[in-house]
Structure 1
Amino acid sequence: MDGGGSKTVCAVATPYGVELGRATTGPSNYQAVGLDTAATRVREAMQAAVEDACRRTGGEIEIVGRCLALAGVARPEDHQAWRGVLPTLPGGEGPVAITHDAMAALVGGTGRKLGVVAIAGTGAIALGVNAHGEERRASGWGYVLGDEGSGYAIGLAGLRAVCRAADGRGAETALTDRVVRKHGLDRLQALVRLVYGEWKPADIAANAPLVLRAAEDGDSVARAIVEDAAAELALASTAVIRGIGLAEEPVEVVTVGGLWDASPLLQERFAAHVRDSVPRVEVIRPRGEPVTGAVLLAREAAGG
């Protein structure tokens, strides 16, 4: 199970990693949607994935291990909350691993529980694990306290740049026209009503693609925003690398999340910043999906 702020994906696989079934439901970050809603989405995804596996195989499925890799799971009380949900999920009292969705992204992206993952989507976080199993994370504090380099941070920076340009406090930018057209504004001041009245953090983050495309097209204001985001994401990743004692070792950093897919420039500048600090680093794209990592963690929980 890979559950995040935008969707929840469940896969059923054999102990050898052959996928038998899959299903997708809505967001399951219980910090954002509440435990009841998150539990319902996890339950529905698991049930649908098991049903899909049964249809494909023509028989019944025995669940021997599970992994719930979920956004918002960081503290002991988060684990305790989800432990209370387990009896209502398929698999009963069988072995289960409960972890952060970043761990599934790391394992799926590198193929093993070793290295660093830099996640950049609506939010942002870096997570690393060394050969001794020691973990360290950086960023991921949420859109108010942190998540620098995230879709929210980039989208907000783009909107602020548009406002600064309108006042004459900042340089002219192609973002102005793109924001006006995207939101069908008759005048730029109408943005105030949207931002303070209707929009949630995800709506702010939805402006990030405008910034990324403008940067790729050469807009200097947008490029500066992307450069700052790349530097912040690199700072989080290098903090993790140092924190788990891998600064002098060969280490892989896998980039996971929609922002990386949308912006070669972000990927390029991030890699350059990380290499400046950690010479033996290799920045890679994911070898597998986060849900594939969750399958591997479920197999580990089952003793495989």
Structure 2
Amino acid sequence: MGYCLSVDGGGTKIIAVLFDHDWNCLAVGRSGAINPNFTRLESVAANMEACIRECLKEHPHITLGAVYAAMPGPIDLLAEVIGKYAKVGEMHAFSEGYMCLLAGIQHRRGIVALAGTGSGIFGVREESQTHLGGWGSHLGDEGSGYDIGRQGMMAAIQSFEGRGPVTMLQELIMQEWQLKLMGDIISVIYGTSDTREVISSCSLLVSKAAMSGDAVAQGIFAAAGQSLAVQVCALMNRDAFDEQTWAMAAGSVWKGHPLMFTRFREVIREKHPKTVAAMPLFEPVMGGVVHEAMRMGEGDPLDGPMLQRLKSSFEAFLYQPKDI
């Protein structure tokens, strides 16, 4: 029996999945952020350690035929951590885009519009990748959780000051941070060492408002989808992608409101009618599982029966739960 590990990490969390060649999910580990651009290296190492330890604690000294990992953090550090708990045969470092594409639509070529804490567009041709956007919260990251959270806070402030449309975001923000006055939001934002995370967390409030019918919040999600679509089209033109390619959404922010993907798809159809916009089947960490299944001859792309097997065994990693 062969065993493998798939690991995905970013600005919010790291997750690891242990699986076998009968396509069973054997164990899962999770921990916090591992992006060294925004998290101290000591914390990155500690979060990697916590994740791998949790995942492999019931499988001491296991032999892993392959480890597949995608993350902005140092892969060599991850390999060192895994080596404390397992013997590793092959270590594969995937780009974020390739990992997302494999997990999402089980294809090796296409475009990924990633919207998490940050954002970025990835043009993927198998393991070769080009990139657009992703300049960080100060210079870009349009359509990201940070961007949506910031837009939500600005809308609440403008509503409070009477220079913007009325929105329930003002009330939600005051409740979330237990503010007596709207002006107290200043100390929440500027009195923390992790402003990026605090502002990003407000995207959840924008989602709550949008799902409740708040027009301002819905407009923020629609604008985010449009911004990401414009970036996808720019990458397609710059890198000469075929018109009949896939443009796939990825990242948790797309779950905030359906209008985000609806507008994304509309803009792409307007500019590239033959391009297919798609939502993902699985969360990105499943990219390693899909790649191993393809490598083992289960199909490329995977066929219906194999996909059904993975959906059953890895139900917890479906991008959208069954009841949605």
The bucket for the TM-score relative to the shorter chain is 0.7 to 0.9
Q: Give the letter aligned to residue 150 of structure 1.
A: S
Q: 1:278-293 to 2 correspondence within 5 Å?
A: 278-293=272-287
Q: Secondary structure at the match of 2:204?
A: helix
Question: Could you give the per-residue CA deviations for residues 38-90 of structure 1, whole angstroms, max 9, x where no partner exists?
Answer: 233223423432334x38xxxx63212212211x25xxxxxxx5336634432
TM-aligned CA distance change 1:140 to 1:298, over 3 Å: farther
Give the corresponding residue for 1:136: 130
TM-aligned CA distance change 1:301 to 1:243, over 3 Å: farther
Pick which of 256-265 and 235-244 moved more.
235-244
Give the corresponding residue for 2:18: 12
Q: Secondary structure at the match of 1:129?
A: strand
Preserved CA contact (<8 Å) 2:52 2:81: no
Give the corresponding residue for 2:302: none
- In the comparison of the two structures, how many residue pairs are matched? 289
Q: Give the letter aligned to residue 56 of structure 2.
A: V
Q: 1:1-304 to 2 correspondence within 5 Å?
A: 1-15=7-21, 17-52=23-58, 54=59, 61-70=62-71, 72=72, 81-83=74-76, 86-90=79-83, 94-130=89-125, 133-198=127-192, 200-248=195-243, 250-297=244-291
Q: If the length of structure 1 is used for normalisation, what is the TM-score?
A: 0.83
Q: Give the letter aligned to residue 27 of structure 1.
A: A
Q: Secondary structure at the match of 1:20?
A: strand
Identity %: 27
1:253 CA displacement:
2.1
CA RMSD of aligned residues (A): 2.8
TM-aligned CA distance change 1:300 to 1:141, over 3 Å: farther
Preserved CA contact (<8 Å) 2:174 2:180: yes
Q: Secondary structure at the match of 2:218?
A: helix
- Distance (whole Å) between structure 2 residues aligned to residue 88 and residue 180 of structure 1: 42
TM-aligned CA distance change 1:176 to 1:25, over 3 Å: closer
1:15 CA displacement:
4.5
Question: Could you give the per-residue CA deviations for residues 163-199 of structure 1, whole angstroms, max 9, x where no partner exists?
Answer: 2233333233232222222222111111111111125
Gaps of 5+ in 1: 74-80
- Distance (whole Å) between structure 2 residues aligned to residue 148 and residue 267 of structure 1: 14
